[in-house]
Amino acid sequence: MFRRDTPAEAEFRKEVRSWLEANLPAMLRGRTVRPPPAELMPWYRTLSRKGWIAPHWPTQYGGMGATLNEQIVMTEELARIGAPALPAQGLNHIGPILMEFGTAAQKAQHLPPILAGTVIWAQGYSEPGAGSDLASLMSRATLQGDHFVVRGHKIWTTWAHHSDWMYALMRTDPQAQPRHAGISFLLIDLHSPGVKVRPINTIAGDEEFSEVFLDDVVVPAENLVGKLNDGWRIANALLGHERLATANPQFPLMTLDRIKAIARATGVIDDPAFQDRLAAASINVTTLSALFSHAVELTNNAHSLGPEASIIKLFSSELLQALNDLLVEAAGGHALADKPVATGFGDVDVAASFFQSRRVTIYGGSSEIQRNVLARRVLNLPN
């Protein structure tokens, strides 16, 4: 790795490793697609009871207040044991946003259930006609006295069919110019009358996301985060957290372990050309870990990453795809098997892992959009 543990960190690593070995159920280890809530949320709540569910949250909000290096140790140990992906929208996205922009009442209402794992959140940004061009979104929220009436259609909403709440961008001033000046950030209870959720199947065979239809849904005015028509600023701050969270090296580290395990099982590991590519991939995963920890350190000091978050989103997502290409190569003739391949590291579902990696250069803003952000807002290149 790019760093060595101090004696105290080595001790912490030992504690995390033995606790995970003793507490993470075997059936949740090394899963390729995210397990459904009935299987996953008990594990979330076990981590929560241990006080380890939110290493990056400050202790004042019930988080672990872990140092940067402790967070890295946890990431590496979760990867080592093959821990499953947890729902991230509460812990990594809306939680930190409410800490920065929410009212005292919003924090008191929403942060404790996120930590406890008693509510699940979804993100309602994209619409059928507004993905990369998010500012063209059409879903409307009309303020009527003490509440908004919300009407619209969201799509690609991760885990909405399992979620209790959705933070969403809504058009509150259709005349505003530029268009993003007429958008507000609302918290919507998905159990409200008028909400309909329809799951969408993905190429990897999981129901990872949904469409959300909002038909005159009543949302209390106090569920507005920040000021009316100032949602774009909050949305961008949240995208910084999202792009950083999607760059967590836990999954590239796990994929690297899977590549090695399957290459040993198939014998591809003995091919010198494959060894070269494996070495290059390992160096890139180490680079990502270093980039990620630098970005976490910046975030700890400045709250939200700016447009620089695009660098790490781009690097990590394209790396995860390259690793999955290598996984297919390592599996050789087994890559197309419709069932997992047995290895010393457990069963590896090569096809599902490969298909799943296709999505990472789309969500959180596609690679093309990250390159546009970097060109315009970081490098100040002309349009």
Residues forming contacts to ligand FAD in the complex (CB under 6 A) are 123-126, 131-132, 156-158, 208-209, 359, 362-363, 365-366, 368-369, 372
CA distance 216 to 265: 56
Residue with Cβ nearer ligand FAD (119 or 290):
119
Cis peptide before 37 (omega within 30 of 0): no
Phi, psi of 299 (to 5 degrees): -65, -40
Would you state the structure tokens that stand for residue 369, as one six-digit string?
């959009």
Please report how close the Cβ of residue 243 comes to ligand FAD at its closest, in angstroms: 11
Please report how close the Cβ of residue 359 comes to ligand FAD at its closest, in angstroms: 4
Please report how close the Cβ of residue 186 comes to ligand FAD at its closest, in angstroms: 13
Tell me which residue has its CB nearest to ligand FAD: 131
Residue with Cβ nearer ligand FAD (210 or 289):
210
Convert 124-141 to b/e letters by CB count within 10 Å (16 or more is b). Answer: bbbbeebbeebeebebbb
Residue with Cβ nearer ligand FAD (24 or 219):
219
In whole angstroms, what separates CA 317 from the centre of its chain? 12
Q: By the 8 A CB rule, do 147 and 220 touch? A: yes
Would you state the structure tokens that stand for residue 359, as one six-digit string?
């999505």
Task: For the chain, give percent helix, strand, coil, nearest 5.
Answer: 55, 15, 30
Residue with Cβ nearer ligand FAD (213 or 274):
213
CA distance 309 to 314: 9
Please report how close the Cβ of residue 154 comes to ligand FAD at its closest, in angstroms: 6
Supply the DSSP string of 296-349, one letter for each residue. Answer: HHHHHHHSS--TTHHHHHHHHHHHHHHHHHHHHHHHGGGTT-SSPEEETTEEE-
Please report how close the Cβ of residue 150 comes to ligand FAD at its closest, in angstroms: 15
Please report how close the Cβ of residue 159 comes to ligand FAD at its closest, in angstroms: 7
Which residues have a Cβ under 8 Å from the Cβ of 309 and sit 6 or more positions away? 239, 240, 243, 244, 295
Residue with Cβ nearer ligand FAD (334 or 359):
359
Residue with Cβ nearer ligand FAD (70 or 127):
127
Please report how close the Cβ of residue 185 comes to ligand FAD at its closest, in angstroms: 13
Residue with Cβ nearer ligand FAD (71 or 158):
158
Count the neighbouring beta carbons within 10 Å of the beta carbon of residue 157: 26
Calculate helix-pair angle for 7-23, 68-81, nearest 10 degrees. Answer: 40
Active site residues: 242
Task: Say if residue 336 is exposed, middle or buried (CB neighbours under 10 Å; 0-12, 13-18, 19+).
Answer: exposed
Would you state the structure tokens that stand for residue 85, as one six-digit string?
């992906």
CA distance 185 to 202: 28
Q: By the 8 A CB rule, do 132 and 365 touch? A: yes
Would you state the structure tokens that stand for residue 69, as one six-digit string?
């290096």
CA distance 196 to 213: 5
